């Protein structure tokens, strides 16, 4: 099923089951000053690009991918941290890394 570009899609890039095919790595994004929601769950992502191109990003769902290296992930996500209200990393191998604290 392909993503239909409509008003809902312009507010957030939906990937996974509803729209685009699975991707292995999040590429460097062009400047997206109005992007508020980014849904990338269940894509098999193994890597991330720095997210300094989305200064208004409020929600980032990266759950159930193949992300490893909690330290590296945090460095990549740091530019977006000021605006993020919700970050979902559940179901990634970084959950099981030594020293990683899981929430309740």
78-88 pLDDT, tens digit each:
888 888 999 99
Kindly list the distances between the CA atom of residue 88 and the CA atoms of 42, 67, 77, 95, in Å, as whole numbers in the listed order. 12, 12, 12, 11
CA nearest neighbour of 91 among 59, 57, 67, 55: 67
Contact of 28 with 53, CB cutoff 8 Å:
yes
Q: 87: which strand partners?
A: 60
Mean pLDDT of 38-54: 85
CA–CA separation, 25 vs 8, rounded Å?
Answer: 24
For the chain, the structural domain boundaries read 7-96
- How would you class 6 by CB atoms within 10 Å of its CB: exposed for 0-12, middle for 13-18, buried for 19 or more? exposed
CATH superfamily membership of 7-96: Ribonuclease Inhibitor (3.80.10.10)
**Mind listing the pLDDT tens digit for each residue in 86-98?**
999 999 888 565 6
Can you give the pTM of this predicted structure? 0.67
């Amino acid at each position: 099923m392909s993503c239909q570009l409509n008003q809902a899609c312009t507010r957030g890039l939906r990937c996974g089951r509803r729209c685009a095919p699975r991707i292995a790595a999040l590429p460097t994004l062009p400047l997206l000053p109005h992007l508020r929601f980014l849904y990338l769950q269940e894509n098999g992502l193994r890597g991330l690009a720095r997210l300094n191109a989305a200064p208004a990003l409020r929600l980032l769902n990266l759950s159930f991918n193949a992300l490893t290296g909690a330290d590296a992930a945090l460095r990549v996500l740091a530019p977006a941290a000021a605006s993020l209200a919700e970050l979902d990393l559940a179901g990634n191998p970084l959950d099981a890394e030594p020293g990683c604290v899981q929430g309740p």
